[in-house]
Structure 1
Amino acid sequence: MTITTTSHRPFPLPKGPWIMAQTWNDVLFAHWPVEPAAIRGKIPADLELETLNGKAWIGILPFLLTDLRARFLPPIPVISRFPEVNIRTYVTYQGVPGVYFFSLDAGSRLAALSARHYFHLPYFHADIAFNKEDSRIRFFSRRSDAKAVFHTSYGPLSDPFSAQKGTLEYWLTERYRLYTAHNRRIYYEDIHHSQWTLQEAEAEFHQNTAAAASDLVLPHTAPLLHYAKKQHVLFWALQGV
């Protein structure tokens, strides 16, 4: 993958070479607005919870990860392909926007252990079934302790589009940095990809205790839903602030 355009990014590309690449397939963006006070205490104090129109947002994203590889190397055997579901919110640090993960459940035990160790991310191993028939995806994830279950079926509804800067869709999806904390220190990792090609989506949530496992309470309102068929992503090295 080569870097051909950066104008859609909210801040410039990081310096230095990227170190890892992967592809995200059949991504569902499910977003719920919440009161900032409901989650402010669940993120590190050094990070600023980002809001839009007075609301913070919790996102749940199931997808299939493929082609995981280090720079100059082919896809990594055993852990190059697995389904994943992550739960996140949106933060800034010194004015740079990004994502903060409450949890990431992966269908690969080795990938989950590696990400916890090398990237200080709250990964968990889960038994995940990912099935696609035509444009319909069925996704079932159960963490080994059974405390986090996420079962949904989803698919696209509209023609593809790219979100315009200044819109809610852009604010929620065009994120190019993740933040995490380890031993009372904040770390970040930059990523890059093409602008998301989104579609409006519909989804049924058959069971969802994944948010509650992170001590999060989702509102009873219907979430905002978007679908993306595929995204190739580059990652830079983890940095301490």
Structure 2
Amino acid sequence: MWWPTREGTGGMKAPVPEIDRLSPTRRPEERPVMYQRWRHLLFLHWALPPEVMAPLLPPGLTLDTFDGKAWVGLVPFTMRGVRPRGLPAVGFLSDFHETNVRTYVHFQGKDPGVWFFSLEAANAIAVRLARAWFKLPYQYARMELTTGGEGEPLAYRSERLWPGPTPATCAVRCTPRGPAAPSTPGTLQHFLVERYFLYSTARGSLFRGQVHHPPYQVRGAGVEGLDESLLAAAGIPRPAEPPMALFSEGVDVDVFRLRRVQSLSGR
């Protein structure tokens, strides 16, 4: 399902219905089950017609749109210090690269979040655990991230190994530009990057997870090269125009437990 947008204040178009996008940014009143540090995040986004993206969603979720458009994101980054509460980070188990393909959804007009089509990770054990614990479509991939100093380009590479479909690869080179600042609520940038809920499905049920972190410090990025087939592997036609590119050095993240929110068989 998807809902159109209407004219908001200042001539901008705002999502409809009026979804609370600030409450999800507040820290839940419970203890996290996991801690992570996300670093060197590149957010690449393309606009697509809602009728293209809506059929790709599971029952129970509604496509979240901005300015009448659906958005698909390709987000490579690196994970550091991944650990369950009460346990220390452990080298190769805790530090690895990741790339996800995602779109934006809400549940019954609330809890705006992310629907993942795929999540590549360069850690086979983490892939198996995330598929089991968080019901997410993680894939094991061979990945590289090359970073330089301030003002120098970063290069991300990913090649899916298992499970399929394959081929599913990504190679992107970018250079962050300009000063970093938090996103302003109500803007497209805030809509795309400040997401604190995620959704997944398993065994006939819809689940919702939640994370908490400080607001991203975001700046623009110039994309000097992009060659990817991850969107095609997810059944998403990539628009011909260049993506909107944003970059953040990263945030420290608290991860909260997954909750079942709906049975998909007996809705």
Instruction: Mark yes or no: TM-score above 0.5.
Output: yes
Report Cα offsets for 1:52-84 as digits up to 9, x if no partner. 111000000000111101113211343100011
Instruction: Quote the residue 1:171 is aligned against.
Output: 191
Q: Is the 8 A contact 2:26 2:212 kept in 1?
A: no
Q: Is the 8 A contact 1:163 1:198 kept in 2?
A: yes
Letter in 2 for 1:234: D
Count of equivalent residues? 235
Task: Give yes or no for the alignment of 1:126 onto 2:141.
Answer: yes
Residue 75 of structure 2 aligns to a residue whose secondary structure is strand
Instruction: Quote the residue 1:93 is aligned against.
Output: 107
Instruction: Quote the residue 1:143 is aligned against.
Output: 160
1:66 corresponds to which of 80, 83, 89 = 80
Letter in 1 for 2:158: S
Q: Distance in 1 between matches of 2:220 and 2:95?
A: 26
Report Cα offsets for 1:110-132 as digits up to 9, x if no partner. 11111011111000000001111
Task: Give yes or no for the alignment of 1:34 onto 2:48.
Answer: yes
Instruction: Quote the residue 1:218 is aligned against.
Output: 238
Q: Is the 8 A contact 1:159 1:199 kept in 2?
A: yes
- The offset of 1:169, in angstroms, is 0.5
Q: Is the 8 A contact 1:11 1:96 kept in 2?
A: no
- The offset of 1:136, in angstroms, is 2.0
Q: Distance in 2 between matches of 1:124 and 1:38?
A: 24
Letter in 1 for 2:136: L
Greater relative contact order (Cα 8 A, min sep 6): structure 1 or 2?
Answer: 1
Residue 133 of structure 1 aligns to a residue whose secondary structure is coil
Instruction: Quote the residue 1:4 is aligned against.
Output: none
Per the normalisation by structure 2, the TM-score is: 0.84
Q: Is the 8 A contact 2:166 2:233 kept in 1?
A: no
Residue 17 of structure 1 aligns to a residue whose secondary structure is coil
Per the normalisation by structure 1, the TM-score is: 0.93
Q: 1:10 to 1:115 in 2, by over 3 A?
A: closer
* Identity, % of aligned positions: 31
Structure 2 stretches lacking a partner, 5+ long: 1-20, 262-267
Report Cα offsets for 1:3-54 as digits up to 9, x if no partner. xxxx965464333211101111110000000001111111112101000111
Letter in 1 for 2:84: A
Residue 155 of structure 2 aligns to a residue whose secondary structure is strand
1:84 corresponds to which of 62, 80, 98 = 98
Q: Distance in 2 between matches of 1:164 and 1:28?
A: 18
Report Cα offsets for 1:91-117 as digits up to 9, x if no partner. 001311000000000011111111011
